[in-house]
Structure 1
Amino acid sequence: MSVFSGFADVVDQLADALHPLFQGASVAVAIILFTMAVRLAVHPLSRAAARGQKARTKLAPQLADLRKKHAKNPEKLQKAMLELHKQEGVSPLSGCLPSLLQLPAFFLMYHLFSNQEIGGEANPLLGHTLGAAPLGGRFHDALADGGLFGAAGLVYVALFVLVAAVATFNYRRTKQQMATAPATGAETPPGMGAMLKFMPLMSFLTLFTVAVVPLAAALYVVTSTTWSAAERYFLYRDMPPTALAAAV
C-alpha cells in the first residue's frame, strides 16, 4: 500500500464516521478536521518558535553592534551572529519548522485530489463534493459550470470571503503593529523595511492559492490560514513588527 492509498483510507474512514452528521459534506469536514489535527500537532513547535523569536528580539541591540563592528566583513559577521545565537541558546531557523512540517500534509492532500487513480485503482474521493463543487475540481471548473454565482461558484465565493476577512484582519493588525514601531526602540535590520511594507499584503496571496489548487487542497489552505491568524494573534500579540516579519 502506497502512502497515498493509506492517506486516502484515513480520510475515507474519517468521512464515514462523520457521515451521519454531515451527509454529503462529510469528506470536506474530514479534510477540515485533518487540517486542524495537523496544526494542533505542530502547535508546540509554534509556541517554541514564538519563544525563540522573542529571545531573538532581545538580542537585537547586540546584533546591531555586530553589524556595525563587522560591516566590511560579511563572513566574520555571519560567524559572530551564529556564535551569539549559540551562546544564548537561540536557533535562527526555529521559526521555519512549523511551516515546513505542514508541507507534506498539504502535498498529500493536493496529490490525493489531483489524480484519477490512487494505488492503481480509481480514486474514490473524487466523487465527493462540498455543496455543488467537486473536491477535486478547481475554480475555473466552477466558472465553466454556472459561473461565479452558480451553485459551485458560490462555494468559492464563500471561501474567498473567508480568506479576504482573515487577510484583512492580518493586514489591519500588522499595520497597527507597524504604527507602534517607533515606541519599541528596536532597530530595523537592513532590508527589513521593504519586508515590513510588503508584509501586510502577504495574506491576500492565499486568494490566488485557493483559486488554482483543487477544492480539497483549498479547504486545507483556508483552514490552516485561519488557524495561523488566531495562533499568531495570541503568540505574537506583544511583539514588535520586526519580530513579526521574521516569524512569517
Structure 2
Amino acid sequence: MDLFSFPPIAAILDAAYALLMGLASLLQPIAGGASAAVAVVILTLVVRTILIPTGIAQVKADQTRARLAPKLHALQRRHKNDRERLQRETMKLYADEKASPFAGCAPVLLQAPVVGIVYALFLHTVIAGHTNDLLAEELFGVPLGSSLIGSIGNGSLTLPAVAVFGVVILLIVAVAEVTRRLLRPDPTTLASTPGGQRTLRWVGLLQFGTAVAAVFVPLAAGLYLLVTVAWTLAQRVILRRKFPTEPSTGHV
C-alpha cells in the first residue's frame, strides 16, 4: 500500500498541492509560464523557514559533539579493550555534560515528515485520486515532471532541457563545492580518530550527492534541491558564526 494513499496523509498532501497550485495561479500574471516553477521555489523557502528551529538544533548538536570530541577520544583510547566500561563512561560523560548522544538525530526526524510531503508533490503523478497537474507545468519549455535521466532514456531530451537541467545541476555542484570548502570538518580533530582522513574524504564527496540525485528526480524536485542546498549553506554559515563549534581542550 502506498503510504501517501492513506487518507490522513493523502489529505495533507492534497492540501499542500492545492496551496502550491493556488500560489502558481496568483503568480501567473507576474511569472507567466514559469509561475509553477516560481511557486516551487517560494514553497521551498517557506518550508526552510519553518524548519529553521531544526537547523538551530542541529548546529547546537554539532557544537556539543565538537566540544566533547576530545574527551570521547580519550575514553576510547583508555577503554579500547573494555567495551562495557567504555559504554558506561561514555554515557556518564554525556550525563555530566547534560547532553545526549542522540541530539543530532531529533532535528532530522522532526523535519522528515515535512520534507516527505514536499517531495511527494514532485514525484507522484496522482494525488488524492486526481492528476498532479504540477508535473505538466513547464520551465522554459521543460515539463516540471520530467527528469534528465528519463528524458535521455526515452529519447525526448531537447536542447532547452539540456540547458535547464544543466544550469540546475551545475548550480547545485557550485553550492556543494562552496559548502565543502567552508564547512568541512576540522582535519586536526578528525586526524585523532580512527579512519579520520577517510571520513574527511567521504564528507567532501557526499556534498555532491545532491547533484547526482538531481539527475534522476523530476525538474520540480531539482529546483527544490537547488534552493534547499543554497538555503542550507547560508543558514549553516550564519548559525556557525553564532554557535561556533570550538572543541574542548580538556582531558578526562
Identity %: 31
- Find the counterpart in structure 2 of residue 194 from structure 1: 198
d(CA) in 2 for partners of 1:27 and 1:12? 7
d(CA) in 2 for partners of 1:100 and 1:219? 23
d(CA) in 2 for partners of 1:131 and 1:120? 29
Q: Is the 8 A contact 2:24 2:35 kept in 1?
A: yes
**Higher mean displacement: 125-134 or 45-54:** 45-54
Instruction: Pick 1 or 2: higher relative contact order, CA cutoff 8 A, min separation 6.
Output: 2
Q: Is the 8 A contact 2:126 2:132 kept in 1?
A: yes
Given candidates 41, 57, 68, the residue that maps to 1:32 is 41
Given candidates 209, 234, 239, the residue that maps to 2:238 is 234
d(CA) in 1 for partners of 2:46 and 2:107? 13
d(CA) in 2 for partners of 1:59 and 1:189? 13
**Higher mean displacement: 74-83 or 151-160:** 74-83
**Per-residue deviation, residues 178-230 of structure 1 (Å, max 9, x unmatched):** 5xx44xx7863323332112212211111110011111111111111111122
Q: Is the 8 A contact 1:126 1:135 kept in 2?
A: yes
**Per-residue deviation, residues 137-194 of structure 1 (Å, max 9, x unmatched):** 11134443344xx11221101101201111221233356x65xx44xx7863323332
SS at match of 2:193: coil
Amino acid at match of 1:145: S
For structure 1, the 5+ residue unaligned runs are 244-248
Amino acid at match of 2:14: S
SS at match of 1:91: coil
| TM-score scaled by length of structure 2 | 0.81
User: Are residue 209 (structure 1) and residue 216 (structure 2) matched?
Assistant: no
1:114 Cα offset (Å): 2.9
**Per-residue deviation, residues 42-93 of structure 1 (Å, max 9, x unmatched):** 2222223222322332223322232123211223312321221122122222
| TM-score scaled by length of structure 1 | 0.82
Given candidates 134, 137, 156, the residue that maps to 1:145 is 156
Alignment coverage as a number of residue pairs: 235
**Per-residue deviation, residues 82-118 of structure 1 (Å, max 9, x unmatched):** 2211221222222233333343333323333333322
d(CA) in 2 for partners of 1:217 and 1:188? 39
For structure 2, the 5+ residue unaligned runs are 1-9
Q: Is the 8 A contact 1:210 1:218 kept in 2?
A: yes
